[in-house]
Amino acid sequence: MNTLLRVKTGMRQWCRYGAIEVGVKLIQKIDVRAIVVMAALVAAPAAAFAQTDEIQVYDAAIAEKGKFNLMLHNNFTPNGPKTAAFPGGIIPDRAYVGVAEWAYGVTGWFEQGLYLPLYSISKERGGSINGFKLRELFVLPHADDHTFFYGVNFEFSYNARYWDPKRVTSEVRPIIGLHLHPVDLIVNPIFDTSYNGFKNLDFAPATRLAYNFSPKWAMAAEEYADYGAIHKFNPVRDQYHQLYAVFDHESKFLNVEFGVGFGLTPASDKVNIKLMLSRDLN
């Protein structure tokens, strides 16, 4: 409980003094024992089914030390739920959601990230700004060169009320994977929290199985799920399960990831399209 109180206090300071400065303070204040506990749970996107700005499986790759990277996330739901996940929320059907993800390689094992602006265009609201996120990503250095790789990502979000019913939310995303050449298997067993108790951690894993045709081209199947709170998973029909067919292309000028996802349960989007564009800025 003391750890949660310290994190809550840090988030209030974040809103007051600015994301970057307070993000550093938060990392300094987080109890290492709490991080270990979260990682142990794993070895064993926000409120369930709400809109998400990032549809991505993390592979422990980060920007090189001293490099700035920009990734543009673009998500469109041509056929989704006709009602919001919570009263006053954004309706997913025919909604476009995007965010600019700014990243900086601090060391060979640590990347700092900022999601800003986070925005959407929906039928009932038109254009809206939905908040921002601070990200701290810790990984095995040069993960691409290892057969087995790992990492952990921490995100701290400040949300508009129509984006999430909770003003402040966070994510703990462990990264576990295998590079088997030419096949990749990656699992992100994600835990989301609204700081409303340990038993209410939301389990929302993401998985990727990819085949690399070459260093520049890959095809993958990705599954994104949300089972609900860990103390009692939702019934299967009320869980979120989305299966994507994904293509990746890397080049010196621009990296592209494009995918089409299909819902596997009534609570999922029937169809969702994602496009990610990224490149180093220096």
The CB-based long-range contact list for 252-255 (8 Å cut-off, 24+ gap) reads: 253/279, 254/278, 254/279, 255/279
User: Do 184 and 177 form a contact (C-beta atoms < 8 A)?
Assistant: yes
| Three-class SS state of 21 | helix
Give the containing element (helix H, strand E) for 2: helix 2-17
**pTM of the predicted structure, to 2 decimals:** 0.82
Please give the pLDDT value at position 28.
Answer: 44
Rg, the chain, Cα only: 18
95, exposed or middle or buried, with CB in 10 Å at 0-12, 13-18, 19+?
A: buried
Q: How far is the C-alpha of 138 from the C-alpha of 116, rounded, in Å?
A: 20
Residue 15 has pLDDT above 90, yes or no: no
Please give the pLDDT value at position 27.
Answer: 37
- Please, which pLDDT band fits residue 34 given cuts at 50, 70 and 90? very low
Query: Angle 19-29/2-17 helices, nearest 10 degrees?
Result: 160
Q: How far is the C-alpha of 166 from the C-alpha of 144, rounded, in Å?
A: 36
Q: Which of 117, 195, 189 is nearest to 156 (CA)?
A: 195
Query: Residue 208, Cβ neighbours under 10 Å: how many?
Result: 22
Beta-carbon contacts of residue 151 (< 8 Å; ≥ 6 apart): 58, 60, 137, 138, 139, 140, 143, 174, 175
- Please, which pLDDT band fits residue 32 given cuts at 50, 70 and 90? very low
Mean residue pLDDT of the chain comes to: 87
The percentage of residues in the chain with a pLDDT greater than 70, rounded to a whole number, is: 82
- Annotate 205-253 with DSSP letters as a single string: -EEEEEEESSSSEEEEEEEEEE-EETTSPPPGGGSEEEEEEEEEE--SS
Residue 125 has pLDDT above 80, yes or no: yes
- Please, which pLDDT band fits residue 18 given cuts at 50, 70 and 90? very low
Residue 114 has pLDDT above 80, yes or no: yes
Please give the pLDDT value at position 31.
Answer: 44
Angle ∠(133,209,229) on CA atoms, nearest 5: 50
Q: Fill in the amino acid letter for 14.
A: W
Tokens of 224: 């994104």
Q: Which of 160, 154, 232 is nearest to 191 (CA)?
A: 154
